[in-house]
Structure 1
Amino acid sequence: MVGVMTYVLSALSLVFHLFLLLPLSSANIIKNGTIGFSWLWQCQCTFSKPFQPEESLIYWQSKALIVAHVYAKGKEEFKYQHQLFKNRTKIFPDQLSSGNFSLVIESLMLKDDKTAFEVIFINSTSDQPEKLCQVTLHVSAPFHEPKIEINQDEKIATCSTKGGYPKPEVTWRSGDLLEGHERTLELHETTITNETDDTYSIRSTVNITGLLKVTCTVYNPTSHQTLSATTDMTPSPPTPVFAVVCFSLSVAAALIILYCINRRCNQTNGKVSENSPPSPEDPTDSNMSGGNVHEGSVSQTGTRAVIFRSTRKSDGSVDSETNNLSTADTDAEQEKQEQSVSVKILDETNTPESDKDK
């Protein structure tokens, strides 16, 4: 008989301890957290009897029997803590006696999303455990700023973003040519892709025929984050500063072209003047007393010279010739001719009268 009673008491004790780990009611309060940040699960308890740490048991657990933290008989107990919460939880032991049963969960993960938590408190003097602070945690990840790309050939606008959680709500607004005010665009295609890190990437397209501008809005239902991007598809007129700069550059280019044309014309005229053949001067007779030789002028161009020589023949006709000589040759020839003329003059002076009569 005693053995049977011992067995019954042991079975009841086992059922009682299992009952502590089961959820006692559904969670009605939703709390939000952000991935990578800490979340404070606030829980304040009012005692009907004085709190006795050595005789108390406190469980912070989920509906799926996942134990996040344990306080037993005056100290924290990590033996029953689930691996998912290892080194991620913290309580305030010195405030438990005042009823502060709050728990801090650090570095929230997407795996924590939609977890229903509750606190199980049992005092050795009470006959039944108390259920406290039931909440459901929703975890979110912020999306990147959306970007809009316009394809004028296909007349579509594409809005894209990524890195967020959970699935967002995407809407389009526009201003059109007919109505002249913004309206919501119902006909658009949105593709939501679940990435390897459990975040979502978004790609949404809409037809832009006849539209002046479009606005893409991405809304996160958990964090209530709203992100928007707007693109104006009407070409903007050039600013006055831009017009002045363009005009100045055009004037400067025209002046440079005119200067180059003028300079090229001057260079062409100079080359023609330098390369043209020299015009011979009219020979001038030198009336030597009784002489038969008349020397002409010398014209020099560069390093070349032209000598015009005329010789009176015995019958009274004049024979002329033109020689092209270098400057040095011209000087030597001129000096030689002067000496020859002088000799001839002397010869005529010294000719006896008898010879002249002949």
Structure 2
Amino acid sequence: MSRREQMFVGSSYCLVSTDVTTVSCLYNSSCFLSCHYKTGKATIIHWTYMTGGDVTVHSFYYDRDQLKLQDPRYKGRTSLVEDQDTGRPTELLLKNVKVQDEGKYQCFADSEEHGYKTSTVVLQVDAPVQRVDMVRAGNSITCSSEGVYPEPELTWSSSPQSSSTVQQTEEKLYNISSSLKLSDMDGDLLLSCTVRTRLNKLTTTTIHFNIIVDKYQSGT
């Protein structure tokens, strides 16, 4: 094993990153993390998850993947992708993205021609709002949405606003719900409930007479 390989294999290290990028990845999808280095073939590529520790994500040297030190949570979910023009492995493919994957990643790339360079990628996970439901029970109506990330915000078109209940699942996704007392409202009402995250929002609108009639859903 060369001296450069010994810099990180089986040991801890600290490097100053010169490139920082942020990528947004959809929950349960595949995501590409770019590793920037100068022209020429990298003899060593080492990806590390830096948030809350120093976890090996993927290593490449001796012209092949080296996964003995790979953290178990990344097993079977990573691979290096070569650039079609240069044939150089420039991206890390991360499959089946989970909320727990969110955080800071560092790529160490070393070539005999240009030396080493590090890149930092901040991965954000998004599970967009897919559906907003309204259900009437007695004199109250409840608006809810499930499987959202990051923690969403729920607002009503009515006043006063009702407080929301937020729960986090084992997968770290959020379920949110809020209820309004219909007895506190006078006359016929057009009620709208909106659930939003940093990625999107979805609104459900209902008409309140003596019954609730669902009209439409609209999203952005």
TM over 0.5: yes
1:86 maps to which residue? 75
State yes or no: 1:216 paired with 2:216: no
The correspondence for 1:137, drawn from 100, 109, 123, is: 123
State yes or no: 1:230 paired with 2:211: no
Long gaps (5+) in structure 2: 212-220
Q: CA deviation at 1:94?
A: 7.2
1:61 maps to which residue? 48
For 2:192, the aligned partner's letter is: T
1:163 maps to which residue? 147
1:201 maps to which residue? 175
Q: 1:143 to 1:135 in 2, by over 3 A?
A: same
Distance between the aligned counterparts of 2:62 and 2:173, measured in 1? 42
1:101 maps to which residue? 90
2:214 maps to which residue? none
Higher relative contact order (CA 8 A, sep 6+): 2
Runs of 4+ in 1 over 6 A off after TM superposition: 12-15
Long gaps (5+) in structure 1: 1-11, 175-184, 237-358
Q: 1:31 to 1:233 in 2, by over 3 A?
A: same
Determine if contact 1:166/1:200 at 8 Å carries over to the other structure: yes
Distance between the aligned counterparts of 1:169 and 1:162, measured in 2? 12
Determine if contact 2:82/2:88 at 8 Å carries over to the other structure: no
Match of 2:69, SS state, is coil
Distance between the aligned counterparts of 1:197 and 1:20, measured in 2? 30
Q: 1:27 to 1:189 in 2, by over 3 A?
A: farther
Q: 1:67 to 1:96 in 2, by over 3 A?
A: farther
1:207-356 map, 5 Å: 207-208=181-182, 209-210=185-186, 212-221=189-198, 224-234=199-209
1:174-193 map, 5 Å: 174=158, 185-193=159-167
1:149 maps to which residue? 135
Q: CA deviation at 1:98?
A: 5.0
Aligned residues: 203
For 2:148, the aligned partner's letter is: G
Q: 1:23 to 1:231 in 2, by over 3 A?
A: farther
TM value normalised by structure 1:
0.49
For 2:209, the aligned partner's letter is: T
Q: 1:138 to 1:186 in 2, by over 3 A?
A: farther
Determine if contact 2:83/2:90 at 8 Å carries over to the other structure: no
Q: 1:94 to 1:74 in 2, by over 3 A?
A: farther
Determine if contact 1:189/1:206 at 8 Å carries over to the other structure: no
Q: Deviations over 1:254-281 (max 9, x none)?
A: xxxxxxxxxxxxxxxxxxxxxxxxxxxx
Determine if contact 1:213/1:234 at 8 Å carries over to the other structure: no
Q: 1:95 to 1:70 in 2, by over 3 A?
A: farther
TM value normalised by structure 2:
0.76
Larger Rg: 1
| C-alpha RMSD of the superposition | 3.1
Distance between the aligned counterparts of 1:69 and 1:14, measured in 2? 14
Distance between the aligned counterparts of 2:60 and 2:165, measured in 1? 47
Determine if contact 2:148/2:173 at 8 Å carries over to the other structure: yes
Q: CA deviation at 1:112?
A: 0.6
Determine if contact 2:29/2:96 at 8 Å carries over to the other structure: yes
Distance between the aligned counterparts of 1:75 and 1:96, measured in 2? 20
